[in-house]
C-alpha cells in the first residue's frame, strides 16, 4: 500500500483529497481487485487502479445536496426545494452567516431581544393581524397552535376538511400528536353552522378550519363561511384558527393566477389565528408563519414546543428580506423568483423552446427526436392540481417512434439526471418532457446548455 501511495498519480490525489481519504479509496480499490483477480486471474494494472481511486474520490467529494435544473413544470416542487430565493434573501443569509448579528439582541435597549421582532412588523403590515410569530414549517405551525391553545381539549373540524397534505401531514394524526381530541363535524360534502353549534361546549379548546388546498369537493356541497364560524366562536369565547397552507400575501388574480385565500382575508373574516407556509406561494425559505390575536400569539410563544420549533438566523434573514419585497407589490413579479416563474408568459417560454431546440437535438444526435411542445405547468406544493399554467418546452421522443418504447424515456431521464448539474424532466406518454417554465434567465439557460456537451459520448457515471 505504501508503494502504491508513492506513485505520482496517487500523490497528486493525496494533495487534493488528503492522505486519509486517498488511503481509504486505495484500500477499497485494492480489495476489489483482489476479489476479481482471485476469480478471474486478471493481472494488476496500475493505470486502471489509479482511475478507480480517482473516480471513487471524485464521487465522494461531490456534495450530497446540490443544485439541479427543474424542468418538471412544477414551480414549487417540494422534492426539489420549493421556492427559489430572491437575490435580496440570498444576500441577507450570507451576511448573517459571516458574522454575528442582533438575532436576539435589542439594539435600542442594549438588552436581550426576541428573534420574532425581525419579521413580526412586516407580517402584521401585510396581514392586518395584531401579532405574529414563525416556526420551522407550516406543519409545525399547525402542531404548535393546537398544542398551545387546545391541549387535552376538543377541536371541532369539518369532515370536508380532514386533509392529508402528503409527507405524513394528516389532520387527524397532527391532532393526536398535539394532544387534542378531534371532533368531526358535519359530512364530507356538507357542513352547516348548526353542526358546529351542537358540538361547542366547555371541553372545546378551539375550532379549526383547514384550507383544502390539494383537492376540491364539487357538486352538492356546503361549507360554513369563515366569518359566520368566527362570530359563533367569539360568542362562545372559543379561539378560531385557520390553516391556509400556501397562503400568499397578495391577490394572485392581479397576475392572472388562480385566487388563493390570503391571511389578510382570514384576519378580516375574524379568524383569530392563521397559519401558512413561508416557502410555498410566499416564495421565501422553509418556515411556518402564525399571525393573529395578540393574546393568543403570546400563549403560542410561551408554549415549550415553540423553543424546539424556532427558526434559525439564516431562515429569519431570508424570510425578512423576502417579506420586504412585498412592500412594493408593483415590482414583486420581477423581484420574487417564485412569482416571476409562475407568471412567465407562454410566448416567452415558447420562444425559448424554439431557440434551444437545435442545440438539444444536436446533443442527442440521432438517439432521440427533440421537438418543441406546448404543455401545462403546475403551481405545486398542494395548490390546486387543476389550476394549470400554459407553458412550453421540449419533448424527447424515441427515433423509432411508438409510444410503447417503455425503457426509452427512463433511459433519457437517467442520462440527464447524471449530468454534473442534474436536469430533471417528467415522463409522459412514452416521452421525456422538459417544461422550460423554470429555465428563467440567461445564466440558468447557459448552465442548462453546458450540461449538454458530450451528452451521448460519456458513459453514464
Ligand atoms: C402544505 C400545507 C401544510 C404543510 O405545510 P409545510 O410548510 O409543508 O409544512 C399544512 N396545511 C396545508 C393546508 C398545506 O397546504
What does the pLDDT read at residue 460? Answer: 43
pTM: 0.92
Mean pLDDT value across residues 292-315: 97
The pLDDT of residue 79 is above 90: yes
Nearest Cα residue to 377 out of 73, 13, 97:
73
Mean pLDDT value across residues 328-344: 97
Q: Give the Å distance between the CA of 381 and the centre of ligand 1.
A: 8
Nearest Cα residue to 301 out of 344, 432, 310:
310
User: CA–CA separation, 293 vs 145, rounded Å?
Assistant: 12
Q: Which atom of ligand 1 is nearest to the CA of 139?
A: 9
Mean pLDDT value across residues 179-205: 95
Q: Which residue has the cell 480499490?
A: 29
The pLDDT of residue 24 is above 90: yes
The 10s digit of each residue's pLDDT in 129-175 is 999 999 999 999 999 999 999 999 999 999 999 888 777 789 999 99
Q: Give the Å distance between the CA of 276 and the centre of ligand 1.
A: 7
Dig out the grid coordinates for 269 from the structure.
Answer: 373574516
Q: Whole-number mean pLDDT of the chain?
A: 93
C-beta separation of 226 from 269 below 8 A: yes
Beta bridge partner(s), residue 433:
395, 426
Pocket of ligand 1 (CB under 6 A): 137-139, 142, 165, 169, 210-211, 213, 243, 245-246, 277, 288, 382
> What are the sequence ranges of the domains in the chain?
2-61, 69-80+339-450, 87-332
Domains 69-80+339-450 and 87-332 share a fold: no
Which of 56-65, 113-122, 131-140, 265-274 is predicted with the least confidence, judged by mean pLDDT?
A: 56-65
For the segment(s) 69-80+339-450, the CATH number from 3.30.365.10, 3.90.1150.180, 3.90.700.10, 3.50.50.60 is 3.90.1150.180
CATH architecture of 87-332: 3-Layer(aba) Sandwich (3.40)
The 10s digit of each residue's pLDDT in 228-246 is 999 999 999 999 999 999 8
Amino acid at each position: 500500500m505504501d508503494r502504491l501511495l508513492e506513485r505520482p498519480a496517487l500523490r497528486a490525489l493525496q494533495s487534493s483529497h488528503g492522505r486519509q481519504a486517498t488511503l481509504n479509496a486505495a484500500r477499497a480499490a485494492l480489495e476489489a481487485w483482489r476479489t476479481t483477480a482471485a476469480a478471474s486471474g486478471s493481472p494488476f494494472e496500475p493505470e486502471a487502479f489509479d482511475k478507480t481511486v480517482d473516480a471513487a474520490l471524485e464521487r465522494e467529494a461531490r456534495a450530497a445536496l446540490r443544485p439541479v435544473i427543474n424542468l418538471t413544470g412544477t414551480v414549487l416542487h417540494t422534492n426539489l426545494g420549493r421556492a427559489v430565493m430572491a437575490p435580496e434573501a440570498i444576500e441577507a443569509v450570507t451576511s448573517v452567516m459571516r458574522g454575528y448579528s442582533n438575532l436576539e439582541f435589542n439594539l435600542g435597549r442594549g438588552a436581550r431581544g426576541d428573534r420574532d421582532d425581525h419579521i413580526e412588523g412586516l407580517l402584521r403590515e401585510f396581514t392586518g393581524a395584531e401579532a405574529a410569530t414563525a416556526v420551522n414549517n407550516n406543519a409545525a405551525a399547525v402542531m404548535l397552535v393546537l398544542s398551545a391553545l387546545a391541549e387535552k381539549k376538543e377541536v371541532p373540524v369539518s369532515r370536508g376538511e380532514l386533509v392529508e397534505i402528503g409527507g405524513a401531514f394528516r389532520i387527524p394524526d397532527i391532532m393526536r400528536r398535539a394532544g387534542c381530541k378531534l371532533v368531526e363535524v358535519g359530512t364530507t360534502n356538507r357542513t352547516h353552522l348548526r353542526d358546529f353549534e351542537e358540538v361547542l361546549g366547555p371541553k372545546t379548546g378551539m375550532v379549526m378550519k383547514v384550507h383544502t388546498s390539494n383537492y376540491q369537493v364539487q357538486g352538492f356541497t356546503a361549507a360554513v363561511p369563515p366569518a359566520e364560524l368566527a362570530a359563533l366562536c367569539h360568542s362562545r369565547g372559543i379561539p378560531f384558527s385557520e390553516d391556509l397552507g400556501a397562503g400568499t400575501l397578495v391577490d394572485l388574480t392581479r397576475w392572472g393566477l388562480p385566487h388563493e385565500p390570503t391571511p389578510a382575508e382570514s384576519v378580516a373574516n375574524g379568524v383569530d389565528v392563521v397559519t401558512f407556509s413561508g416557502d410555498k406561494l410566499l416564495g421565501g425559505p422553509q418556515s411556518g408563519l402564525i399571525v393573529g390575536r395578540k393574546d393568543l400569539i403570546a400563549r403560542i410563544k410561551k408554549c415549550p414546543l415553540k423553543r424546539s420549533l424556532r427558526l434559525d438566523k439564516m431562515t429569519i434573514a431570508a424570510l425578512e428580506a423576502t417579506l420586504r419585497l412585498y412592500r412594493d407589490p408593483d415590482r414583486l413579479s420581477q423581484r420574487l423568483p417564485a412569482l416571476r416563474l409562475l407568471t412567465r408568459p407562454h410566448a416567452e417560454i415558447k420562444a425559448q423552446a424554439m431557440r434551444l431546440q437545435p442545440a438539444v437535438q444536436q446533443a442527442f444526435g440521432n438517439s432521440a427526436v427533440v421537438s418543441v411542445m406546448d404543455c401545462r405547468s403546475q403551481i405545486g406544493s398542494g395548490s390546486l392540481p387543476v389550476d394549470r399554467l400554459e407553458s412550453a418546452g421540449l419533448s424527447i421522443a424515441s427515433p423509432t417512434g411508438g409510444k410503447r418504447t417503455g425503457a426509452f424515456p427512463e433511459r433519457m431521464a437517467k442520462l440527464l439526471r447524471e449530468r454534473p448539474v442534474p436536469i430533471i424532466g417528467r415522463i409522459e406518454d412514452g416521452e421525456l418532457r422538459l417544461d422550460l417554465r423554470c429555465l428563467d434567465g440567461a445564466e440558468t439557460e447557459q448552465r442548462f446548455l453546458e450540461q449538454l456537451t458530450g451528452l451521448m459520448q460519456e458513459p453514464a457515471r
